[in-house]
């Protein structure tokens, strides 16, 4: 009997010691449930909410519904809005519609615009059409342009066409004047010469002058020599002069000796001179 009583008392001690932990876990769980309910998540268990918590959740749901209605999100129940909220929403909707109509974006309901708003929207649409026609972007309706606007649009188009031709882009050369054609041809020639000398883009050697061909040949030779020095695949050793070949051979010999002496990098002992081999043996290679 004493043993059973002792066990009972020990169980009481254990329960009392775990009670704060259980209370803390339950409290944390209730706090999480309240947060879930306020956020409108499915994990919310409304049966575990107190009366004050239900009020808090209802206020959160109301604010979320109002925010959805203002931003055009779903779900939105306008019947649950208060009168001031309904008025604010109506004002926001009207301003949003006016903005869309002026900017040419959707949705736009012209029937909801006032006379002055409709006039401003019409002016904005006309200006947008003029800009599209001048810039060559977006939809352009030339039938809506008056003669001065048509003239300005044609001038802008010719200037843009000339600029495209000068850059070597797609353009209509038939629209160029004689002087513009001369300028464009000169630009084409210079661009081809630059491409040939730099090794970039298209290069037509047949269009080069004697001086340009000489400059291009020199530039190509220098690029090849540089590629050979750097050990690049594009190197054509057959195009090197005797002096350049010797410079590369001397540089490679020094590199090979250094690699053998330091024991780092590719080393071909058979290419060393007797003196170099003796120097390495006397000083000892780090790889040994």
- 3-state SS track over the chain: CHHHHHHHHHHHHHHHHHHHHHHHHHHHHHHHHHHHHHHCCCCCCHHHCCHHHHHHHHHHHHHHHHHHHHHCCCCCCHHHCCHHHHHHHHHHHHHHHHHHHHHCCCCCCHHHCCHHHHHHHHHHHHHHHHHHHHHCCCCCCHHHCCHHHHHHHHHHHHHHHHHHHHHCCCCCHHHCCHHHHHHHHHHHHHHHHHHHHHCCCCCCHHHCCHHHHHHHHHHHHHHHHHHHHCCCCCCCHHHCCHHHHHHHHHHHHHHHHHHHHHCCCCCCHHHCCHHHHHHHHHHCCCCC
Q: What is the mean pLDDT of residues 2-28?
A: 54
> What's the pLDDT score for residue 287?
47
Task: Encode pLDDT of 116-158 as tens digits.
Answer: 999 999 999 999 999 899 888 778 999 999 999 999 999 999 9
Task: Encode pLDDT of 224-236 as tens digits.
Answer: 999 998 889 999 9
> What's the pLDDT score for residue 288?
46
- The rounded mean pLDDT for the chain is 86
- Is 61's pLDDT higher than 50? yes
> What's the pLDDT score for residue 241?
94
Task: Encode pLDDT of 208-253 as tens digits.
Answer: 999 999 999 999 999 999 999 888 999 999 999 999 999 999 999 9
| CA distances, 67 to each of 12, 37, 128, 269 (Å) | 53, 17, 33, 81
Query: Is 196:216 a contact under the CB 8 Å cutoff?
Result: yes
Question: Please, is 216 exposed, middle or buried when counting C-beta atoms within 10 Å of its C-beta (0-12, 13-18, 19+)?
Answer: buried
* Cβ neighbours, 10 Å, residue 118: 15
Specify the long-range contacts of residues 139-147, CB closer than 8 Å, at least 24 apart.
Answer: none
Task: Encode pLDDT of 168-202 as tens digits.
Answer: 999 999 999 999 999 999 999 999 999 999 988 89
pLDDT band at 25 (very low <50, low <70, confident <90, very high): low
Tokens of 197: 């000398």
> What's the pLDDT score for residue 8?
54
User: What span, in angstroms and rounded, lies between the C-alpha atoms of 123 and 103?
Assistant: 11
Task: Encode pLDDT of 65-104 as tens digits.
Answer: 888 888 888 888 888 888 888 888 889 989 999 999 999 8
């Amino acid at each position: 009997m004493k043993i059973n009583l002792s066990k009972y008392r020990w169980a009481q001690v254990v329960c009392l010691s775990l009670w704060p932990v259980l209370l803390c876990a339950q409290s944390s769980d209730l706090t999480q449930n309240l947060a879930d309910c306020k956020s409108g998540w499915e994990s919310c268990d409304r049966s575990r909410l107190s009366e004050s918590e239900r009020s808090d959740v209802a206020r959160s749901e109301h604010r979320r519904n109002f925010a959805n209605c203002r931003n055009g999100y779903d779900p939105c129940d306008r019947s649950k809005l208060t009168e001031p909220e309904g008025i604010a929403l109506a004002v926001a909707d009207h301003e949003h519609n006016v903005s869309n109509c002026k900017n040419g974006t959707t949705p736009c309901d012209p029937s909801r615009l006032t006379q002055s708003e409709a006039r401003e929207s019409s002016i904005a649409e006309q200006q947008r059409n003029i800009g599209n026609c001048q810039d060559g972007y977006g939809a352009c309706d030339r039938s809506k342009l008056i003669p001065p606007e048509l003239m300005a649009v044609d001038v802008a188009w010719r200037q843009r066409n000339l600029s495209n031709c000068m850059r070597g882009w797609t353009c209509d050369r038939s629209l160029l004047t004689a002087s513009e054609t001369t300028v464009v041809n000169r630009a084409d020639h210079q661009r081809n010469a630059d491409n040939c000398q730099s090794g970039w883009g298209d290069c037509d050697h047949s269009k080069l002058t004697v001086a340009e061909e000489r400059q291009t040949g020199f530039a190509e030779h220098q690029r090849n020599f540089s590629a050979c020095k750097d050990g690049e695949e594009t190197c054509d050793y057959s195009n090197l002069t005797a002096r350049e070949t010797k410079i590369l051979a001397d540089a490679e010999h020094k590199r090979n000796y250094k690699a053998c002496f330091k024991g780092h990098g590719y080393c071909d002992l058979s290419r060393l001179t007797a003196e170099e081999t003796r120097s390495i043996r006397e000083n000892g290679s780090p790889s040994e």
